[in-house]
Amino acid sequence: MLSRLVRIIGQTCAAAVLALGAGVGTATAANFSINPLRVELGSRHQAEMLLLHNDGTSPLRLQVETTRWTMDAAGAWQTVPTDELIATPLLLEIAVDGSAQLRVGTLAPVTETERAYRLLINELPGDDDAADGQVHLRVLTRVSLPVFIEPAGAKVAPRLAGARFEQGRLRLDLANTGSRRMDPQTAGVTLLDANGHKLFAKDVSAGYVLAGATLPVQLAAPAEACRQARTVRVHLGADDVTVEHTIADERSCVAGTSSS
Q: Of 149, 176, 195, which residue is a domain's last?
A: 149
pLDDT for 149 equals 95
Q: What is the mean pLDDT of the chain?
A: 86
Q: Write down which residue in 96, 119, 149 finishes a domain.
A: 149
Residues 91 and 192 in one domain: no
pLDDT at 43: 85
Q: What percent of the chain has pLDDT over 90?
A: 72
- Least confident interval from 16-20, 37-41, 111-115, 237-241: 16-20
Query: Across residues 160-174, what is the average pLDDT?
Result: 95
Same domain, 145 and 212: no
3-state secondary structure of 84: coil
Give the pLDDT confidence score for residue 77 in this predicted structure. Answer: 95
Question: 30 falls in which pLDDT band (50, 70, 90)?
Answer: confident
Kindly report the pTM of this predicted structure: 0.81
* Strand 136-149 to 39-41 pairing: parallel
The CATH number assigned to the domain holding 162 equals: 2.60.40.10
pLDDT band at 209 (very low <50, low <70, confident <90, very high): very high
**Are 79 and 140 found together in one domain?**
yes
Q: How far apart are CA 50 and CA 248, in angstroms?
A: 47
pLDDT score for 241? 95
Of the chain, the percentage scoring pLDDT greater than 70 comes to 82
**Comparing 112-126, 133-147, 177-191, which segment has the lowest mean pLDDT?**
133-147
pLDDT at residue 133 in the model: 55
The one-character DSSP state at 72 is -
Task: Report whether pLDDT(137) > 90.
Answer: no
- Residue 163: which H helix or E strand, with range? strand 158-166
| Banded model confidence at residue 82, pLDDT cuts 50, 70, 90 | very high
Whether residues 170 and 234 share a domain: the answer is yes
Same domain, 118 and 173: no
What gap in Å lies between CA 187 and CA 174, rounded to an integer?
Answer: 10
Q: Give the structural domain span for 72.
A: 5-149
Mean pLDDT of 179-192: 97
Average pLDDT on 35-59 reads 94
Considering the domain architecture, whether residues 128 and 9 belong to the same structural domain is answered as yes
Contact 64, 87 (CB under 8 A): yes
Residues 86 and 20 grouped into a single domain:
yes
**CB-CB contact of 58 with 96 (8 Å):** yes
Count how many domains the chain has. Answer: 2
Neighbours of 255 (CB within 10 A): 9
Residues 95 and 195 in one domain: no
